[in-house]
Amino acid sequence: MGISGRRDQEIYDVVGIGFGPSNMSLAIALQEHGASTPQHPVTSHFFERQPRFGWHRNMLLPSTTMQISFLKDLATFRNPASRFSFVSYLHASNRLVQFVNNQDFFPTRQEFHQYLEWAAAGLSDQVTYGAEVTSIRPVAESGDGTPDLLEISVRHGDGTTGVAVARNVVISTGLVPRMPQDVAADERVWHSSEFLSKFHAQAPQELKSVAVVGAGQSAAEITRFLYDALPHAQVRAVIPSYGYSVADDTPFANQVFDPGAVDEYYFGTERARDAFWRYHRNTNYSVVDADVIRALYQRSYDEQVRGSRRLHFRNLTRVTKVERGGDETRVVLRSLLDDTTEELALDALVFATGYDGVDPARLLGDFDRNFQRDTAGRHRVERDYRLVPVSELACGVYLQGGTEHSHGLSSALLSNIAVRSGEIADSIVLRRTERELESGRPVETASSAA
Ligand code: FDA
Ligand code: NAP
């Protein structure tokens, strides 16, 4: 679209890419921002590629619980009086009293998902589902040629495309599944992120021999699930460590997820940042909640008492190769103990091998050249989560997630989303106010969705 064609087009203060918990939390922070009045709203719209709201749906296994307190919801740490708090949701669901009687800080993932769906329903006028953002392009509207607007290209589920225009974008597209090199997912080889839909596509009686690769939370939860759901099946856990390690959620270690830890990480020395990772990686990566470890060990011990075995743990073992042919899946395991290899025939193989971050350059394309990178090739990010431009830009690109190198361990988690979203909303509003003061008039804003 040419610049003249855009004269009539709405210009949002913010377009959010992805509508997971991070950008939902931002939608709420913008709505509740003191500067957002009916006369002069902070205008925003969000694009989500899923056809409806969903948060890691394929891992909504029975009995799995949240790894954070219910108070680390979409809003409470920023605004305890928010109507989008988990407590508000409980009240609206007539379950507040029962929740308190239950005396548990960690709801099931099912319940937290229901909370998020409830919040998403309250924000439905802010989001277009089935809409994948494919690129972000800068546009210079002012005379001096400096980009001051962003064109966001969107591909809708029905194949149509569109463009939205904004002064800022907030990229919050989450993580992508990580598979071992040369291993491709298919109907019998699954990544944990697609687990339930792939599992339900199979006839359970045909799954007589299954294996789960990895020693993180996803692997342990799926191993327990398969063991319980397939009482006739041999279940193998292929774990690279000697045994599952516990996720440290004790109070002192948990402080790494406090809002204050972000400042200490961001402004700390390289040595301090390194210490965060060296001492506290085991709060989140390749670790498992103690109750799940105990549940698995109990099943294994019960088998020893009964004298029959169908739950097998291959420790100090990594997958080196997968061969597929029709219904047959053969996996090659290498023992780290003595380097011997072993081949197994399986009906289904689950890789709970974790996730990678997504480089925002995928969406920014050539525009990415306008942003600074550090010596390790990572984007430089301001404390307010705005990408640092090579030279002054009137428009802003913010990240929610993908900032572990700059802002620390909570970047990919829920712990800090309420506070982080508030900081991003403050930054966007402050820059809008500065622009308005410079120009002497409120800048044009949108009133409805694209
Ligand atoms: P999230 O991944 O949730 O959302 C990103 C959204 O962007 C997705 O909905 C995606 O469809 C959309 N999207 C991607 N590309 C797009 C594009 N180009 N255009 C439009 N939309 C696009 N953390 C924690 O603190 N406590 C916990 O209990 C858990 N539990 C947990 C369970 C499981 C199974 C996993 C895999 C992870 C967790 N996590 C967690 C970590 C997890 O990263 C976190 O809970 C949130 O999902 C982070 O929210 P985001 O909105 O940042 O990403
Ligand atoms: P993860 O913690 O990154 O664990 C991945 C595991 O796969 C690691 O043990 C890794 O071992 C192993 N692995 C990788 N390649 C392998 C190979 N070729 N052979 C054998 N093992 C291999 O991933 P995750 O368990 O999916 O957890 C990701 C995030 O989701 C975490 O934040 C977690 O807390 C969260 N989560 C939360 C819940 C919940 O809330 N209930 C449930 C699931 C996940 P190495 O480290 O040695 O490579």
Q: Is 342 exposed, middle or buried (0-12, 13-18, 19+ CB in 10 A)?
A: exposed
Give the per-residue pLDDT at 407. 98
| pLDDT the model gives residue 278 | 97
pLDDT at residue number 443: 58
> Which residues in 377-392 are b (16+ Cβ under 10 Å) and which e?
ebbebeebbbbbbeee
Q: Dihedral angle at the C-alpha atoms of 81, 84, 88, 92, nearest 10 degrees?
A: 140
pLDDT-based confidence at residue 326 (cuts at 50, 70, 90) = confident
Q: What is the mean pLDDT of residues 65-83?
A: 98
**How many angstroms does the Cα of residue 355 sit away from the middle of ligand 2?**
8
What's the rounded Cα separation, in Å, for the pair 32 and 185? 42
Residues whose CB is less than 8 angstroms from the CB of residue 17 and which lie 6 or more positions away in sequence, other chains included: 23, 46, 47, 133, 136, 152, 169, 170, 171, 172, 173, 363
Q: Of 106-115, 156-165, 324-333, 350-359, where does mean pLDDT reach its minimum? A: 324-333
CA of 304 to the centre of ligand 1 (A): 39
Q: Which residue minimizes the CA distance to atom 37 of ligand 1?
A: 56
Helix or strand (DSSP H, E) at 271? helix 270-280
248-272: average pLDDT: 97
> How far, in Å, CA of 341 to CA of 320, rounded?
9
pLDDT in tens, 213-244: 999 999 999 999 999 999 999 999 999 999 99
Least confident of 87-101, 182-196, 276-290, 429-443: 429-443
Single out the residue of 410, 404, 74, 403 nearest to residue 257, CA to CA.
Answer: 410
The pLDDT of residue 6:
60
Integer Rg of the chain from CA: 24
The fraction of the chain above a pLDDT of 70, given in percent, is 96
- Return mean pLDDT, the chain: 94
Which tokens belong to 434? Answer: 């500065």
Q: Whose CA is nearest to atom 35 of ligand 2?
A: 217
Which DSSP category does 327 fall into?
Answer: T
Q: What was the pLDDT predicted at 37? A: 83
Using CB atoms within 10 A of its CB, is residue 152 exposed (0-12), middle (13-18) or buried (19+)?
Answer: buried
CA torsion 315→317→323→327, rounded to 10°?
A: 10
Q: 59 CA to middle of ligand 2, Å?
A: 13
Distance from Cα 35 to the centre of ligand 2, integer Å: 41
Name every residue whose Cβ is closer than 8 Å to that of residue 235 and which is 6 or more positions away in sequence.
Answer: 210, 211, 212, 223, 226, 227, 310, 311, 312
Q: Which whole number is the average pLDDT over 92-110?
A: 98
Distances (CA, A) of 261 to 301, 411, 427: 41, 11, 19
Q: For the residues 328-348, what does the mean pLDDT come to? A: 95
Both structure tokens of 321: 């190769």
**Ligand number, closest to the Cα atom of 170:** 1
Question: pLDDT-based confidence at 152, cuts 50/70/90?
Answer: very high
Size (the chain), residues: 450
Question: Per residue in 376-402, pLDDT tens?
Answer: 999 999 999 999 999 989 999 999 999
What's the whole-number mean pLDDT along residues 17-46?
93
Domains of the chain are 11-174+358-439 (3.50.50.60), 178-247+285-354 (3.50.50.60), 253-283 (no CATH)
356 band by pLDDT with thresholds 50, 70 and 90: very high
SS3 38: coil
How far away, in angstroms, is 54 Cα from ligand 1 center?
Answer: 9
Ligand number, closest to the Cα atom of 399: 1
Lining ligand 2 with CB less than 6 A are 59, 64-67, 109, 180, 192, 213-219, 221, 238, 240, 284-286, 318-319, 352-355
The per-residue pLDDT for 143 is 72
| Confidence band, pLDDT 50/70/90 cuts, at residue 23 | very high
Q: How many angstroms does the Cα of residue 134 sit away from the middle of ligand 1?
A: 18
Residues 6+ apart with CB under 8 A from 411: 401, 402, 403, 404
Which of 60, 218, 318, 415 best tests ligand 2's pocket when mutated (most atoms within 8 Å of CB)? 218
Token match 């900032």: residue? 403
Could you tell me the pTM of the whole model?
Answer: 0.95
pLDDT tens for 164-186 read 999 999 999 999 999 999 999 99
